[in-house]
């Protein structure tokens, strides 16, 4: 990982509340996880950290979020490079990379990689965080006890996470591929599922300000009309705006996040990487501006521009 730039540079921002929050918050940090060897169907997501970065800084867009936060400001977002994957023990390398990054007092945004990486990432985050509420956006519950003989397949990470007690709540959104086995696993672990039928009827997650959120976004939670570049496209999913509204509406502090399963090999237009980059921007902003942080501001006027 490269050294992180943390110059105390405060930019003028029109809204002074936003300015106060930015002055107090810790930056988010991108960490790429170029790993797809636990994919059950097709490879490709190992290349996604590079294509998502390319989309993020493309001159086709600018660096400002919808709430007018500039992610080119190193107080908001830095880039820690990619995890070095040790083929002999990839999960230990991923967990260790997250732990080293957490020690620098930033909020990691992990770019996958297939979804198997979420298990070692959450292990690395949980070691130094409050109990986690995981908000998990996906077409799939990823709760298999094992898949084709592999307990660490990308179909299994949330079974491992719940077995280890790494999350106090797991709230899954966008699910539309449950099997009887996974329904039983969800019941066993007390997983809260808002499936697409419930979502379309208006069901939404109820997360209190006192919780600490880890957000995991599998891009196949979106409808393939919005994000076709995934290994397991499943029609009938969320819109880009549905997910943005979830990110922007979270009132609890978000301590870490991942964006996984972008597959550049089946994304010829690059739109799926662009969607991932858009989510990355808004997640970085959400990590800055939550009401909890506004409340803890000692005096918003004291840092007024
Ligand atoms: Mn999925």
What is the distance in A from the centroid of ligand 1 to the CA of 136? 10
What separation in Å is there between the alpha carbon of 212 and the centre of ligand 1? 23
Residue 292 and residue 233: Cα distance in Å, rounded? 36
Nearest to residue 98, comparing CAs of 166, 31, 36? 31
Q: Which of 153, 239, 244, 140 is closest to 195 using CA atoms? A: 140
**Domain of residue 158, residue span:** 4-288
In angstroms, what is the span from residue 115 Cα to ligand 1's centroid?
7
Residue 163 pLDDT: 97
CA 40 to ligand 1 centroid distance, Å: 11
H runs (alpha helix) in 48-179: 48-56, 90-102, 118-126, 157-163
Assigned domain for 294 exists:
no
Centre of ligand 1 to C-alpha 38, Å, is: 13
pLDDT of amino acid 299: 40
Decide the pairing of beta strands 254-260 and 212-218.
parallel
Tokens linked to 226: 């919005």
Report CA(222)–ligand 1 centroid distance (Å).
Answer: 9
Q: CA-to-CA distance for 65 and 244, rounded, in angstroms?
A: 11
pLDDT of residue 37: 86
Q: 245 C-alpha to center of ligand 1: Å?
A: 20
Output helix, strand, coil percentages for the chain, rounded to the nearest 5.
35, 20, 45
Pairing of strands 107-111, 254-260: parallel
Strand order in the sheet with 28-32: 77-82, 28-32, 107-111, 254-260, 212-218, 132-137, 169-175, 192-195
Ligand 1 geometric centre to CA of 155 (Å)? 8
**Count of domains forming the chain:** 1
Cα of 279 to ligand 1 centre, how many Å? 16
Report CA 257 to chain centroid distance, whole Å: 3
Task: Give me ligand 1 centre to Cα 126, in Å.
Answer: 22
Looking up tokens 């705006």 gives 241
Q: How far, in Å, from the CA of 221 to the mean position of ligand 1?
A: 6
pLDDT of res. 41: 86
* Residue-level pLDDT, tens digit, the chain, 305 residues: 444 443 333 333 333 344 444 444 679 999 999 998 888 888 999 999 999 999 999 999 999 999 899 999 999 999 999 999 988 999 999 999 999 999 998 999 999 999 999 999 999 999 889 999 999 999 999 999 999 999 999 999 999 999 999 999 999 999 999 999 999 999 999 999 999 999 999 999 999 999 999 999 999 999 999 999 999 999 999 999 999 999 999 989 999 999 999 999 999 999 999 999 999 999 999 998 654 444 444 443 333 33
Is residue 83 within 8 Å of residue 33, measured between CB atoms?
Answer: yes
CA-nearest of 184, 152, 158 to 171 is 158
Query: Cα of 35 to ligand 1 centre, how many Å?
Result: 16
Tokens coding 80:
């820690």
In a domain, 129, yes or no: yes
Kindly report the number of other CB atoms within 10 A of residue 67's CB atom.
Answer: 14
Residues with Cβ within 8 Å of residue 144, at least 6 apart in sequence: 153, 155, 156, 159, 181, 182, 185
- What's the CATH number where 108 sits? 3.40.800.10
CB atoms within 10 A of CB 253: 19
Q: Is residue 305 part of a domain?
A: no
- Answer yes or no: is 300 within a domain: no
Among 97, 34, 109, 51, smallest CA distance to 281 is for 109
Sequence-ordered alpha helix ranges (H) in the chain: 16-24, 48-56, 90-102, 118-126, 157-163, 180-189, 196-200, 240-249, 271-288, 291-296
pTM (two decimals): 0.88
Distance 140 CA to ligand 1 centre (A): 4
pLDDT of amino acid 303: 37
Is the bond into 210 cis (omega within 30 degrees of 0)? Answer: no
Indicate whether 304 belongs to any domain: no
Supply the pLDDT for residue 105: 86
Structure letter (DSSP) for residue 168:
S
Residue 98 forms part of a structural domain: yes
> Is residue 250 included in any domain, yes or no?
yes
Residue 16 inside a domain? The answer is yes
Looking at residue 63, what is its pLDDT?
96
Query: What's residue 40's pLDDT?
Result: 83
- Ligand 1 center to residue 139 CA distance, Å? 5
């Amino acid at each position: 990982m490269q050294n992180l730039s943390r110059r105390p540079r405060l930019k003028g921002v029109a809204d002074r509340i936003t300015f106060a929050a930015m002055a107090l918050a810790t930056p988010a940090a991108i960490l790429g996880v170029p790993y797809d060897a636990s994919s059950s169907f097709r490879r490709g997501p190992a290349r996604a950290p590079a294509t998502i970065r390319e989309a993020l800084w493309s001159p086709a867009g600018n660096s400002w979020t919808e709430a007018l936060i500039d992610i080119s400001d190193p107080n908001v977002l830095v880039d820690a490079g990619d995890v070095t994957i040790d083929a002999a023990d990839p999960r230990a390398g991923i967990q260790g990379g997250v732990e080293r990054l957490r020690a620098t007092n930033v909020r990691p945004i992990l770019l996958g990689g297939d979804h198997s990486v979420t298990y070692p990432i959450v292990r690395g985050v949980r070691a130094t965080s409050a109990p986690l509420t995981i908000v998990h956006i996906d077409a799939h519950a990823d709760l298999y006890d094992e898949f084709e003989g592999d307990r660490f397949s990308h179909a299994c990470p949330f079974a491992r996470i719940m077995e280890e007690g790494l999350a106090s709540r797991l709230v899954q959104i966008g699910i539309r591929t449950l099997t009887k086995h996974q329904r039983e696993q969800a019941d066993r672990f007390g997983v809260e599922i808002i499936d697409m039928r419930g979502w379309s009827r208006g069901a939404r997650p109820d997360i209190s300000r006192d919780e600490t959120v880890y957000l995991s976004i599998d891009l196949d939670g979106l409808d393939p009309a919005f994000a076709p570049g995934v290994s397991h496209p499943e029609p009938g999913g969320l819109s880009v705006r549905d997910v943005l509204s979830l990110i922007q509406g979270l009132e609890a502090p978000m301590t870490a996040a991942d964006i996984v399963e972008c597959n550049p090999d089946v994304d010829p237009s690059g739109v799926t990487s662009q969607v991932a980059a858009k989510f990355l921007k808004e997640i970085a902003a959400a990590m800055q501006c939550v009401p909890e942080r506004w409340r803890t501001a000692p005096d918003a006027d004291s840092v007024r521009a």
